[in-house]
Each structure stands twice: as C-alpha cells, then as structure tokens.
Structure 1
Amino acid sequence: MNNVKRICLALDLVNDEHLIKEYIDYHKPENAWPEITQNIRDKGILDMEIYQTGDRLFMIMEVGEEFDPDNFKPSAQAQEKDRAWEQLMWKYQKALPWAKPGEKWVAMNKIYDLKNAK
C-alpha cells in the first residue's frame, strides 16, 4: 500500500442541534446503510473518517491509486441507493459558501505537514 493517497474534505451542516444529532445518529455503525458502506468500498476508498465540530464536518479518505471518482460505474441498484442517501443527507447538510453549485464536500488544501518541517 505504498501509493495510498489522503483526501480531506469539508462540509457544513444546518446549524440546528436536533438535525446535527440526527445526522450523527445516521453515521453510527449500527445505523449506517450497508449498501452505502459497500459502495464506498467498491469505489476504492480504503478508509474514511468524518469528524464534527459544531456545524462543520471534516472527512479524511485514504484511497488507492486505482481510485477515480469520475470513472466509477456503480450498479443501477447502487446508484439508486446512493441517490436516496444523498437526498436524505441534504436535509442536514449545507454547501460551504465557496462551493460550486450542487457541490457538497469541498476538497481541502494541505498547508502544513510536520514531516516536511525543519
């Protein structure tokens, strides 16, 4: 696994305590939709973590060199489940002010790496 790449993304939630709690509950292991979890793995995502503070989310993904989000062809059933999940999540999520239209998770730029510091 020498060619593992880390991708970091950010997203905001609707700033409502009740909705944030619901969103977090959907992401607990016992509540996660198994089809969505499988779709994530099928895309070549090796690991994924989501962190939350207030209404801000931060996602870290580790992907292999074969990962290409633009070239993934899920089955019709997987596409249907993904659409249902994404539609449900929009109840809780809001785009960052600088996001492109329809864009949810926005890629973050790495500005510091301790390994490279002197």
Structure 2
Amino acid sequence: MKRYCLALDLKDDPQLIAEYEHWHKAENNWPEIRKSILDAEIRDMQIYRTGNRLFMIMETSDHYEAEKKEQMDALNSVVQEWEQLMWKFQQPLPWAKEGEKWVIMEQIFQL
C-alpha cells in the first residue's frame, strides 16, 4: 500500500466552495468517477478542507501508476466532463505546473 498526500486550492468564494462540497457528498457523486478511481488501483481517498485549501489523502495498491491513471482519465469522457465541472471551483496552487491541479506534497515529518 502506498500513500499520497496532495493539495489544491478552491476559488475563494463561499458559494463556489459550498457547491464544490455539494458535488462531493455521497448522494451527489457520479458512480463513473468512483469506478474510475477504484479501477486505477486507488483503495481509499479522502479530501479535507480548510478555508479554500484542499488536502487529499490517497491510498493505493502497490500497482498504482499515476501515468496510467492519467491515460485512463484522458480516454474516459465522463471523467473529462467531471474535471471540466471541477475547474469551475478549483484554481491551481501558485507553484503548480501548467495544467496541474492536485500537487503532490512532500512528507517532512513522521512520528
């Protein structure tokens, strides 16, 4: 099992943040998105928010490959539709690469 921690900012607008959270409630999730996550060998995913900053914890099998997930997503029209919808709410971190959403965080401490 591998663990990844990622960060992303939302646009600093209370209405947009509330709508983003609406789409992430279990009853509003798109089943195709959940399936695409599980198909990519992601075993657990949690997203936390403070202000407009998001923090994601992603646990994967040892077979997870980020490049393979990107390829799968690029070929999945529903995932592409979801990503377009999410860009309405999201903004890249100032240090993100061009087109990059979630940025992998570096672990700097462990007890």
TM-score above 0.5: yes
Aligned-residue identity in percent: 54
Residues 12-63 of structure 1 show CA distances to partners (whole Å, capped at 9, x for unaligned) of: 0000000000000100000000000000000000000000011000000000
Structure with greater Cα Rg: 1
Greater share of helix residues, 1 or 2?
Answer: 2
- Shift in alpha-carbon separation, 1:75–1:62, aligned structure 2, 3 A: closer
Q: What stretches of structure 1 of length at least 5 have no aligned partner?
A: none
| Whole-angstrom CA distance in 2 between matches of 1:13 and 1:26 | 13
> In the alignment, which residue of structure 2 is the partner of 1:62?
59
> In the alignment, which residue of structure 2 is the partner of 1:21?
18
Q: Secondary structure at the match of 2:59?
A: strand
TM-score (norm 2): 0.94
| Whole-angstrom CA distance in 1 between matches of 2:9 and 2:68 | 26
Q: Give the total of aligned pairs.
A: 110
* C-alpha RMSD of the superposition: 1.5
- CA contact under 8 A between 2:33 and 2:78: conserved in structure 1? yes
Matched, 1:82 2:103: no
Q: Secondary structure at the match of 1:100?
A: coil
- Shift in alpha-carbon separation, 1:59–1:79, aligned structure 2, 3 A: same
- Shift in alpha-carbon separation, 1:21–1:75, aligned structure 2, 3 A: closer
- Shift in alpha-carbon separation, 1:99–1:31, aligned structure 2, 3 A: same
**Which aligned pairs between 1:26-105 and structure 2 lie closer than 5 A?**
26-72=23-69, 74=72, 79-105=76-102
- Shift in alpha-carbon separation, 1:102–1:30, aligned structure 2, 3 A: same
Matched, 1:8 2:11: no
